[in-house]
Structure 1
Amino acid sequence: MTHDPNGAPPGGVLERLTAALGAEGSRRGPPPVERWNPDYCGEIPMRIAADGTWHYNGSPITRPALVRLFSTILRRDPDGRTVLVTPVERVGIEVEDAAFLAVEMAVEGEGDARAVAFRTNLDDVVPLDDAHPLRFERDPEGGFKPYIAVRHGLWARVTRALTYDLVDLCEEREDEGESWFGLAAGGRFHRIARVAELS
């Protein structure tokens, strides 16, 4: 395979990736991308924007089914690179913020026994638990942006509207001798910030 000077594979990469998934598409369940380790073939001009839209060669990908297909072969490699991977090809793409957006939240119960689950913009359903923890990052305005782990090292940023709903569930709690603001769910307390940092 030849590459251009920018490291992108030649034309037809979307078709190649889709074709490589043809046989896998008949399988039940998600593709086993964690077991696929083909050679790295360079970057392609694909980008997941901060608003969750996928772009190829500077233009939005307008076919939702194609975006969902590609999302099933997405993973984050140990070196921090986000890649699309098939049994025969592994290519890097750009992710501006997170690979997914958490756009819907369901809540049942109270306290540590509370069950919380999120639906992403690509219809992954993710429970808040030890395998899918929350993390929080400071935004430029000094607030917090929550993310939930989805799969294969990829995260979903919780939308601003859902963040307000999430904060409504939070409480202050003493944890290991410090006062924390956080969320009780999935059998444990998820720390967001020290209370002293919020005052």
Structure 2
Amino acid sequence: MSDQLERLFADLLASQDKSSASLPPVHLWKPQLSGDMDMIIDREGRWIHEGGEIKRPAMVKLFASILVFEECDYFLVTPVEKWRIQVDVAPLFVVAAERETRAGYQAIKLTTVTGDVVIVDRQHPLSMQAFSGSEEPLPLVLVRRNLQALLSRNVFYEIVEWAAESSGGDDGMLSISSMGERFILGSF
């Protein structure tokens, strides 16, 4: 990302940095596996423990802050414990999108249900990924420490609408730009 873009969108990038600054240093914690926990994060980002949805947002945010992805599995970690959990599609879920245009450049700001803020850019790419059980590829964004977020249907449709407004359609691909990068959403 160019210095010009960083200066232009400094306030948005600061909101992203602020959301990740309060996270615990889970990348430094290396406990042994404690076992499997009866917890699943479903496709809509709901955290289900022993069959019941965790309804307290503060509890979900706490769990999300100690989540790691290692060797194709998700774990909740503390300095002394490591519990494997199940994730249907992605552990985080995007519920809001904002678009800022400045000096001819666009930035897409995404917010997850757990309060993570991410600006779509080279370090936080938006991509379409195939999953078993899904007829169409699903839109995901890399949020932090190799954790991805699935975009809610409403957010994805909003981004597709923005892309359609600005797409030249020369190559038959629908794409959106953010922070000087182009992200392919599909073909038409």
Q: Bin the TM-score by the shorter chain.
A: 0.7 to 0.9
- Alignment of 1:82 onto 2:74: yes
Match of 1:49 among 36, 42, 45: 42
SS in 1 for 2:59: helix
Shift of 1:138: 4.7
Identity of aligned residues (%): 30
| Corresponding position: 1:156 with 2:149 | yes
Structure 1 stretches lacking a partner, 5+ long = 1-27
Deviation at 1:150, TM superposition (A): 1.1
Mapping of residues 102-181 of structure 1, within 5 Å: 102-109=94-101, 113-138=105-130, 142-170=135-163, 171-172=167-168, 179-181=172-174
1:59: how far off?
1.2
TM-score by length of 2: 0.79
Asked whether the equivalents of residues 68 and 74 of structure 2 are also in contact (C-alpha less than 8 Å), the reply is: yes
Q: Out of 134-143 and 159-168, give the one that drifted further.
A: 134-143
How much has 1:105 moved relative to structure 2? Answer: 0.5
CA drift at 1:58: 1.1
Report the TM-score, using the length of structure 1 for normalisation: 0.75
Higher relative contact order, structure no. (Cα contacts within 8 Å, ≥ 6 residues apart):
2
CA distance in 2, matches of 1:54, 1:141: 20
Distance 2:134 2:148 in 1: 21
Looking at structure 1, the residues matched to 73 and 183 of structure 2 have their Cα atoms a distance apart, in angstroms, of 27
Q: CA-to-partner distance for each residue in 1:139-172, whole Å, 9 max, x for gaps?
A: 7675442111111211111111111110112224
How far, CA to CA, are the matches of 2:144 and 2:41 in structure 1? 16
Report if aligned partners of 1:46, 1:93 keep a CA contact under 8 Å in 2. Answer: yes
Which has more helix, going by share of residues?
Answer: 2
CA positional deviation for 1:110: 6.7
Residue identity matched to 2:150: R
Distance 1:75 1:131 in 2: 18
Q: Which has the larger radius of gyration?
A: 1
Pair 1:187-2:170 in alignment: no
Task: Describe the SS at the equivalent of 2:84.
Answer: strand
- The one-letter code matched in structure 2 to 1:136 is M
What secondary structure does 1:169 align onto?
Answer: helix
1:92–1:142 CA distance, 2 compared to 1 (3 A): closer
